[in-house]
Structure 1
């Protein structure tokens, strides 16, 4: 099988737009991608979506927006460092810093499709479609369409948002360049290939777009609706894993779920030299000490990831890398990241307050899904005629985002999920209370 090459992987073709000239004065094409993502409403709404701790009252705690910005910062460093090391392999229209911008833009958008309440929201949507009581709503769908819904994925929703929904509705979305879109995709395949993890990055409706992007960039095809990853997506993944493994522990210390000592020991495991950053001043607060240690630990991870990418670049360009870049890093970094994730699973994700809110998130999303998807089903069944009063009012709530009666049932459901999943945690909670009649219908 022919290996991928940087000249094709870094072309300047833009989704929903004719091919662009390789050179342009002012901002590069990839800077424009970054700007389009930053100024999109979907990105802005990440400020009200859960990273780890839902509906946290402590405003120091990370939201999905701040997490994405921090991942973007790490991703830019990774892309730039790799770009500088492989500059001789790059096409003439690409500068080393372009790789930094591509990875940064992809990092900003990597969680843009997340529903309210984060992963708890994903599970709530999947479970709702799997419930026997809702089986009738799936009648008439193909096997792949059903699988898209019962295995609904925030990654696939993110790809749909940037290619279909934001800005140019069903006419290219944000119209990002192909390299940025491909770098976003940690799982460049459809639900057919989700496997045991259930992870995929493209619904059936967007499958032709995925094929178009993969073909243009020369991604190695492994099966029908399955391609290998763009090399830069490994840098995006490493940036994301580094941030949520390390920085999320800081939030847990701030919320008094973890102690300073627990997190300090992990950061020193990743970078033993980081102890020098602590200094000798006892009056420095634990959180300030952690910030200094975190910076040293993250720098060690960044340097190691860049080295691994360069060591494995031929394997990566052949589409044959096993695992992620962090799994190939030196043992102290691998084990440190593993320890961080294990500590989070053991103590942070099992925190009782977090669990209570996530259980409530199930009820919130179940209320919204029942109201809006049932209305969509009636709209399809009745072809828009003689709708019940409740269904008409529910559709009125969606305004110009409401589905149309001449659409397929699958398209109606996807469009309805666009509306529900774009909501912030607070607005989803508010709307569910209103629909459920829990609070007065007033502001």
Structure 2
């Protein structure tokens, strides 16, 4: 069984001591590192649900992440208070610390997402499985699998541990507790692709960060599962996932209402059952005076509070199972009203919002954008990794754009048995997945000779 003493380990990646500062706990420091990072800032121009949205009122990845972090902080503090009341938190660890850990993981939970959201992920996978398969011929099966099944969660772990702040030397150098709580799928790509892991096709660790992952897992005491490089999840992952689901279950519907895809009656029918009769009696006179677009904020706070309390209670009820490393869907363990509301919201978004024609048109176009960038850049970096002196002029210019000094040093000296071709292509993945929707579209036009001067 895992224990809270190790699970809230405040030491930092690389066995660095906990960062103690005036007015800032080690977990506050994690939060601030994410907020000030370029990777986080670029989420402002990345798709949440609607690519290249012209309506400033709908969510992007940044506003979504900030809102998930708010819900996650409240949920973490609520759980922390309950653990503290039962004398289960280690000495010196407070409920606010738990809130900070969950808030940090929520802030970073989408930091590895490429342009165009989940469609961008699918476009990268599709290209490496088809047109780009020739670039993977010298890679080993694990490396090739990372690219053919590109995953934003694994890319996120790479961002916070490798590519941001201190490249290839600890990245953001966050605490072990926060890093472990970030990893939704603590296993690698190849067994996931063949359906040998709990979430088929989903994984959280690239081969390039495998040694880092093992360091984090051992530092917090994650339980090894039956299978290579497979551990159980940190219990706090469930809280981060719940906060994300709660926001999807409210804010995607608000975006649908804002864009005229959904009606208020549809939204209210899903959310109102989680409110008490007292809440409904107090709120409905106010709701009757407002136009539909102004109604969601009136009930949002109370709906979120109901969600948070239900999740906190469910977490404590199943604490022993989480500490045993069991696979548990926290939302399904919430009371029926909350679980049903989240499920119904997701179903409505899937059938009505995700199939909106404007969204579909732009998503189809994103495949061409990604294919253009991947073709040009992969060709260039493989030339460069083979022999920088024999690169074509075009490839040299592409490498100049990527940054000739931004490649992992293991490309020349690879003690982890990583092929240089894999390391080179992973730098392309860093570059492209770090692009905003707008910059990826602009760059694809430039590469095709159809761009505009800037």
Q: TM-score range by the shorter chain?
A: over 0.9
CA shift for structure 1 position 135: 2.3
Tell me which moved more, 400-409 or 254-263: 400-409
TM-score, normalised on structure 1?
A: 0.95
Q: Is the 8 A contact 2:34 2:40 kept in 1?
A: yes
Partner of 1:416: 428
Which of 293, 298, 308 pairs up with 1:292? 298
Partner of 1:328: 333
**Structure 1, residues 131-181: CA drift from partner, whole Å, max 9, x if none?**
0x3322111111000100000100000000000111001110000000001
Q: Which runs of 5+ in 2 are unaligned?
A: 414-419
Q: How many residues align?
A: 436
Partner of 1:33: 30
Q: Is the 8 A contact 2:223 2:325 kept in 1?
A: yes
Matches for 1:71-110 after TM superposition, within 5 Å: 71-87=68-84, 88-110=87-109
Q: Is the 8 A contact 2:75 2:239 kept in 1?
A: yes
Structure 2 Cα separation of the partners of residues 337 and 43 of structure 1: 27
Which of 349, 355, 361 pairs up with 1:356? 361
TM-score, normalised on structure 2?
A: 0.93
Q: Is the 8 A contact 2:287 2:298 kept in 1?
A: no
Asked if 1:338 corresponds to 2:343, the answer is yes
SS of residue paired to 2:265: helix
Partner of 2:120: 121
Q: Any runs of at least 4 consecutive aligned residues in structure 1 with deviations exceeding 4 A, and if so which? A: none
Partner of 1:10: 8
Structure 1 Cα separation of the partners of residues 393 and 117 of structure 2: 32
**Structure 1, residues 246-301: CA drift from partner, whole Å, max 9, x if none?**
11110011001111111111111333545332324633121221222232222111
Matches for 1:149-298 after TM superposition, within 5 Å: 149-194=147-192, 195=195, 197-222=200-225, 223-271=227-275, 273=277, 274-276=279-281, 277-280=283-286, 282-298=288-304
Structure 2 Cα separation of the partners of residues 278 and 107 of structure 1: 32
Tell me which moved more, 224-233 or 349-358: 224-233
Structure 2 Cα separation of the partners of residues 228 and 52 of structure 1: 30
Label 1:20 to 1:283 Cα distance change in 2 as closer, same or farther (>3 A). Answer: closer
Structure 1 Cα separation of the partners of residues 448 and 407 of structure 2: 22
Q: Which runs of 5+ in 1 are unaligned?
A: none
Q: Is the 8 A contact 1:188 1:228 kept in 2?
A: yes
Partner of 1:427: 439
Structure 2 Cα separation of the partners of residues 250 and 427 of structure 1: 27
Q: Is the 8 A contact 1:17 1:175 kept in 2?
A: no
CA shift for structure 1 position 329: 1.1
